[in-house]
Amino acid sequence: MWVNFEILFFTLLSLPLACRALGSGYTLTSITQAPDGKSLTAQLQLIRNNSLYGADIQQLKLLVRYESNECLRVYITDAEKQRWEVPKEVVARYNDDHGANNDGSINDHELQFSYTKNPFGFAVTRSSNGEVLFNSSAQGQYPFGNMVFKDQYLEISTGLPSTASLYGLGESTRPGFMLNRNGSQYTLWNLDIGSVNLYLDLYGFHPFYMDVRAGGVAHGVLLLNSNGMDIQYGSNYLTYRAIGGVLDFYFLSGPSPLSVVQQYTGLVGRPAPMPYWSFGFHQCRYGYKNISDLKSVVAGYAEAKIPLEVMWTDIDYMDYYKDFTLDPVNFPQKEMKEFIEGIHANGQKYVLIIDPGISVNETYKTFQRGIQEDIFVKKGGAPYLAQIWPGPVYFPDFLNPKTLSFWTNEISEFHNMVPFDGLWLDMNEVSNFCSGITCSLPKDGDCPRKDAQTDCCLVCSDANKTIWDDPPYKINAAGIHRPLGINTMAASAVHYNDILEYNAHNLYGLTEVIVTNKALKSVLNKRPFILTRSTFVGSGNHAAHWTGDNAATWDDLWYSIPTMLSFGLFGVPMVGADICGFAKDTTEELCNRWIQLGSFYPFARDHSDKYTIRQELYLWKSVAESARKALGLRYRLLPYIYTLSFEAHTKGFPIARPLFFTFPNDTNTLGISTQFLLGKGILVSPVLKEGARTVDAYFPKGTWYNLFNVSDSITVESGAYVKLQAPLDTINVHVYEGTILPMQEMGMTTREARKSPFSLVVALGTGMEANGELYLDSGEDLEMQIESGRSSYIEFYANVVEGGLQLRSVVQMGEFATEEGWILQRVTVLGFNFSSVSVADVSIATASFNCDGGKEFSIKLRTIVDGKSGSVASSFSVKRTDAPPRIDDYDGPGFLLEISNLALPIGKNFEILLTWKK
């Protein structure tokens, strides 16, 4: 049943004035529970008026509902008037009437809602242990006051235990993944501010956080509101201050960190499927001069034998920076088409950039069609005028239903000219070189000025400033309380259906990727690849993301890890930073270490500014060596990484994960942001300091095997830091016990690598068990799902049975893998321990060897395919590994066994049984 309890707290008058000046809050006047017991509604009445930041809304309505068994929604809005909310066409949620997967009565749910009546506040608690997860009713215990609800100012707070570890609330660059709770404030308002800047509001808007408590028990909190907001947090509180919209909270029960992200992406949309080729290595630069420049880069990678999957071009390819055009001198259409067809023949791809601003140019066909279709954002009834690279521009309104057909047509016509494979959406916060409520063209017509491309050349004025351009509460935009329209669109501009930019500003990048995703599916009839700079809640459902304009510094190298982990939390698993740094001149050593780290970003792209030195990986001998080594391992791991992308698409799990996602009970992992996991089992420990040749890496409990030398292992009985050797050409990458890694051979492209046979690395630990998965499809089908004839899914299991070692597979829809001719050629078993057992009667191959003081072992192998004994040309090699480092006197496994020349069809159930005796 719903609980109405009164929380004891200090009298309001005992609070400091700053904490109580905004109002006395609301009182609950009536409450009604739905007949099915799964929701309630209530009415709230203002206690006393306060004029600071505008007039209070007198009456509010409250809706509380279980959207699923794991998700509780608490929704508060004006009882009399419709207010702005994030459109469901932009961010889909559960069905409003019935919720999703909502079984049982209220008492059956893990999350319980309770409230105080006067002044109104609410709490969310766990039914399993009574822990309070969110509590806005604790006035007097924390430095915050009552809930405030005005037209342009909303405030609500929660108390937090000092032991809570918080993650999320982005996008910002921070020197750590865990939020610093020393009275920090973070602002959400999407702006073109480079990621080189710490703690500022950057390109993305994600009012979502994960709270991890004792024992690794986690929950998530989303405030679904697109209006600008400040979020302040300290050791015992968190306060939201939004400048509009509604209070629409979603609480996710977890209880594991991984399940929180699964529930969150189930709410806002699972990550989009990414094409297989997008997991290869990408090369870009702002400043490639012409096609010859592109050709030389492709040739340079080939000559250096460094994998190159995708060539990119920045705005250099355009005709005076106009979207959907080609520079007729440096990038002529005929030569461009021939170049792209040539790299396609090599198994490579091509991606180019698109900015949202459409050049105001009467001779420009895209502009003409846009005017004819009337699809631009407006101000005062006319298209809103701004300026970016081509000079004066209008911005397409992606909230306008007509924009889809317009945008699809432009992409289709451009693809006929240039057969690109993906699109890069930049400047979509949106970015504007000018600032002003209204702007007009200069009388002299010289715009842009050739000697000052990014300087505003429009005539702009703030004379018609409105309450939307200058709201009563000033969020801390850009860290200086910058007016909302500075270097972006005026907040009083108007979108389709009279939607104010004030409300929809932070949705612009998301709406662009939604429309672009639909357009590319229509044009290519393949799985689209889209890279976007600006993001919002649910953006991962449509596109990948890179972390924007970083710099070639050692700090930026490190900062890329917490930012990448944050976007995994936000449901955008395909993410990476510009390898070697975008701004400033990189150095050989920095670029060396960055390609080592970047080789294990989900999205791996080298990108730099035209005003910096060139930094293609083949330009330095040491960097080329590191690239071949690190990218070589990445390409071998592509089957594993691609399977993680399938898991991301179907379950929402991040590809790159913080250590506590796998080890939530190890409190030492909660603050680690210098290492990360790929999936649950691969630990990446990069060098992040100049001149360093060792790494102090943390290893959670268990055995970890070095993937560059699998005979080298580390075993810890409880989590410990270990000093690892890290020569200039080396990054430390380890696989965790209990993991089975599917791998293929290295290739210069993913197409080449995919033609090679498979191998399995079976990493056993003290439990002598391991498991793994493999998802296979064409890599380009629109859908990414287990489907007959279109994909295969294989589970692998290894364990000791009756003293022998059994490795088996369980195959779903194996026809696809069989038709592709994929085979398992080699199995490498790590951590092998022998014991005295009986030898099986049936054997195909036998090997004997001596070790441990002359003890002789005899091993027999048999294989079964689809229930029938198989014949196999096999060879054995069994060798003792070097003695692993031992910590806490724990004796780890010390044998390696390799079975080669198996030729087992990967698309059929198989069983490999090894038995032995002394």
| Whether 704 contacts 735, CB under 8 Å | yes
The residue with tokens 């601003």 is 357
862 neighbors 869 (Cβ within 8 angstroms): yes
Which residues, 6+ apart, have CB-to-CB distance to 664 below 8 Å? Answer: 212, 215, 216, 217, 218, 256, 257
Residue with tokens 């006197």: 889
789 φ, ψ to 5°?
Answer: 80, -10
Q: List C-alpha distances in Å: 610 to 342, 352, 582.
A: 26, 16, 9
Q: Is 429 considered catalytic here?
A: yes
Using alpha carbons, list the distances in angstroms from residue 861 to 701, 868, 872.
Answer: 32, 14, 10
Determine whether 426 is an active site residue.
Answer: yes
| Choice among 426, 737, 773, 777 that is catalytic | 426
How far is it, in rounded angstroms, from Cα 490 to Cα 500? 10
448 preceded by a cis bond (ω within 30 of 0): yes
Distance CA 581, CA 587 (A): 10
Between the CA of residue 888 and those of 1, 547, 738, what are the distances in Å? 51, 40, 21
Identity of residue 142? Y
In the numeric block, which tokens belong to residue 170?
A: 């982005």
Rounded distance between C-alpha atoms, residue 46 and residue 80, angstroms: 13
3 state SS of 452: strand
The candidate with the shortest Cα–Cα distance to 351, out of 535, 152, 552, 532, is: 532
Residue 819: how many other CB atoms lie within 10 Å? 11
Q: What's the helix, strand, coil split of the chain in %, to 5?
A: 20, 35, 45
Those residues with Cβ within 8 angstroms of residue 429's Cβ, 6 or more apart along the chain or in another chain: 190, 191, 192, 203, 488, 508, 509, 533, 534
Residues with Cβ within 8 Å of residue 905, at least 6 apart in sequence: 817, 818, 822, 823, 824, 865
Q: Which of 309, 549, 556, 606 is catalytic?
A: 549
Tell which phi-psi region holds residue 334, choosing left (phi > 0), alpha (psi between -120 and 50) or beta: alpha
What CA–CA distance (Å, rounded) separates 171 from 559? 12
> Which residues on adjacent β-strands are paired with residue 3?
114
The CA distance from 146 to 139, in Å, is 7
Q: Yes or no: say if 708 and 600 are a contact pair by the CB < 8 Å rule.
A: no
Tell me the sheet residues that pair with 396: 376
Distance CA 511, CA 517 (A): 10
328 phi and psi, to 5 degrees?
A: -70, -15
Does 780 participate in catalysis according to the annotation?
A: no
* The one-letter amino acid at 630: A
DSSP-based three-state secondary structure for 233: strand
The bridge status of strand 868-870 relative to strand 855-865 is antiparallel
Q: What is the CA angle 749-567-649, rounded to 5? A: 60
**d(C-alpha 746, C-alpha 636), whole Å:** 5
Annotated catalytic residue within 429, 469, 501, 773: 429
DSSP string, 846-900: EEEEEETTTEEEEEEEEEEETTEEE----EEEEEEPPPPPEETT-----EEEEEE
Active site residues: 426, 429, 549
